[in-house]
Structure 1
Amino acid sequence: MLARLAPEPLPDQLWLTVNGERQAVRLKRNDRAKRYILRLPAGGDPVLTVPARGTLETARRFAEEHRGWLADRLTRRPESIPFTDGAVIPLRGAPHRVVAGARLRGLVTLRPGEPLPEIEVPGDPRHLARKLTDWLKREARRDLEQAVAVHTARLGRSHAGLSLKDTRSRWGSCTATGRLSFSWRLVLAPPEILDYVAAHEVAHLAEMNHGPRFWELCRFLAPQTDDARLWLRREGAGLHLYG
């Protein structure tokens, strides 16, 4: 019996000329993929999924063949919204205006404003984006820890820890050891969306699958499951435009 050859190593990205500019295309090998798939996230570079036995040469050819599709999608993709003074961003689903505070020191604070509530970020404006991101992550952790505590209590299960990431392919995950991970961007979404994702991952503590029993548990913990899944399919990608 012949030994199976290891797949060809792939670089992190390849380059195309799209709309007259050099465009990086990230390469991601997926052993479960049956074909090459090119997708454009709401923010960041295009991603080309390469199947288990795929090669760099074929990936490059596939990307070249879909250059027109990519050019069209890049042209129509909404602009990203950086964290800057005056930017309007969602917080728990409600629009807020980011304001560079006059104070040199202090904490990020919420305050009333007209026509929108404001998020005041003190300190050097050059560090505004970092300070605001750090604050949003802390707020996300607080909301998620509270939601996870409620759902684990109802389910009678415990978890092995909670961490935050900025993944684009999933909003949460649960390992076989019971460690939960979530996207910090959930704090930008309405609270019932964050609550659903927390319930989804807590349900995995009892059912490490997506079978009927899992969805029964998920809907028991979060009755808004179906509406939340639909919201994430329609609106979730837009959360990656911020920051």
Structure 2
Amino acid sequence: MPHPETLQFGTVTVPLIWRASPRTRRVSLRLDPKKQALLITYPPTYPLQHILDFLQKQQKWIIARFEKLKSQSFSFLDGNTIPIAGKLYTIQHQPQGRGGAWLDGDTLIVTGQSDFIARRVTDFLKHHARILLTEELRHIAQAANLTPSKVDIRDTASRWGSCNSAGRIMLSWRLVMAPHPVRHYIIAHELAHLKHMNHSANFWSYTDTLTPHRKQAEAWLKLYGTSLLSAQ
């Protein structure tokens, strides 16, 4: 029996992504904001019918999460409004212009063919993120006398940041769309891992010495984080 590509709950169609993992012992569900789909992780030998039965039992949760994801999603298209560093800008396409994309007052000007608007907006945001996030991280790190070995700005499916044992910090470029308290908290969170490579009580205590925004940022990300992860 092949794995279905979608799940139908009444009028709601949910795309599915199947991921067999030998490291998991149970079925887990997570929405992938970028792909607008339900990610199903399962043991390789787990019977498909048991997974399908489990999905039916979880249909209320799946529908609620999927509809919330769809309602919060926004696209990088002409006339749409997007947040940059917590401020709203309207995308304005100028097909005859040159220069890619730039900010002009409350407008993000995007030039060239209409087929490439989303890509050029994304390129602009990634470039802006490298400048803004790197500078903000440098400022917080210097104030705390912390020195990461390297800083990467990347695109991830669900993580806002990470820090490995070598002191290399990764931040999602999508943070450039979040307001300052959220960026400050995420950066402080990853920098705190330079002292505590875990999520112990000592880690959280140290994180709170680096930023006053933890509760505010966590509440904001719970409400709006998915919309940033799904924007494209």
TM-score range for the pair, normalised by the shorter chain length: 0.7 to 0.9
In the TM superposition, residue 90 of structure 1 has moved relative to its aligned partner by: 0.9
Describe the shift of the 1:217–1:52 C-alpha distance in structure 2 as closer, same or farther (beyond 3 A).
Answer: farther
CA distance in 2, matches of 1:100, 1:21: 33
Which 5+ residue runs of structure 1 have no aligned equivalent?
1-10
CA distance in 2, matches of 1:235, 1:17: 25
Checking the alignment, whether the CA contact within 8 Å between 1:15 and 1:22 is kept in structure 2 is no
CA distance in 1, matches of 2:58, 2:135: 45
2:55 aligned partner = 63
- Which one of 16, 25, 40 corresponds to residue 6 of structure 2? 16
- Which one of 101, 111, 130 corresponds to residue 104 of structure 2? 111
CA distance in 1, matches of 2:186, 2:12: 38
In the TM superposition, residue 26 of structure 1 has moved relative to its aligned partner by: 1.6
CA distance in 1, matches of 2:198, 2:45: 27
Amino acid at match of 2:157: R
Checking the alignment, whether the CA contact within 8 Å between 2:14 and 2:66 is kept in structure 1 is no
Describe the shift of the 1:75–1:155 C-alpha distance in structure 2 as closer, same or farther (beyond 3 A).
Answer: closer
Are 2:147 and 1:155 aligned?
A: no
| 1:15-74 superposed Cα distances (whole Å, 9 cap, x missing partner) | 234146864312345677664333435551012233687454432332244446534654
1:38 aligned partner = 29
Checking the alignment, whether the CA contact within 8 Å between 2:7 and 2:16 is kept in structure 1 is no
Structure 1 residue matching 2:74: 3-state secondary structure:
coil
CA distance in 1, matches of 2:60, 2:220: 30
Describe the shift of the 1:173–1:14 C-alpha distance in structure 2 as closer, same or farther (beyond 3 A).
Answer: farther
Structure 1 residue matching 2:71: 3-state secondary structure:
coil
Q: What is the 5 A alignment of 1:1-243?
A: 14-18=4-8, 19=10, 23-28=14-19, 35-42=26-33, 44-50=36-42, 54-67=46-59, 69-71=61-63, 73-75=65-67, 77-78=70-71, 80-112=73-105, 117-243=106-232
Could you say which structure has the greater relative contact order, defined with CA pairs below 8 angstroms and 6 or more residues apart?
2
CA distance in 1, matches of 2:82, 2:32: 19
In the TM superposition, residue 97 of structure 1 has moved relative to its aligned partner by: 0.3
Question: 214-223 or 66-75, which moves further after superposition?
Answer: 66-75
CA distance in 1, matches of 2:198, 2:113: 47
| 1:148-170 superposed Cα distances (whole Å, 9 cap, x missing partner) | 11122123232222223332332
CA distance in 1, matches of 2:155, 2:149: 20
Question: In percent, how many aligned pairs have the same letter?
Answer: 30
Q: CA RMSD in A?
A: 2.8
Given the two structures, how large is their TM-score scaled by the length of structure 2?
0.84
In the TM superposition, residue 102 of structure 1 has moved relative to its aligned partner by: 4.4
Checking the alignment, whether the CA contact within 8 Å between 2:95 and 2:114 is kept in structure 1 is no
Structure 1 residue matching 2:98: 3-state secondary structure:
coil
Amino acid at match of 1:88: T
Structure 2 residue matching 1:110: 3-state secondary structure:
strand
Describe the shift of the 1:128–1:201 C-alpha distance in structure 2 as closer, same or farther (beyond 3 A).
Answer: same
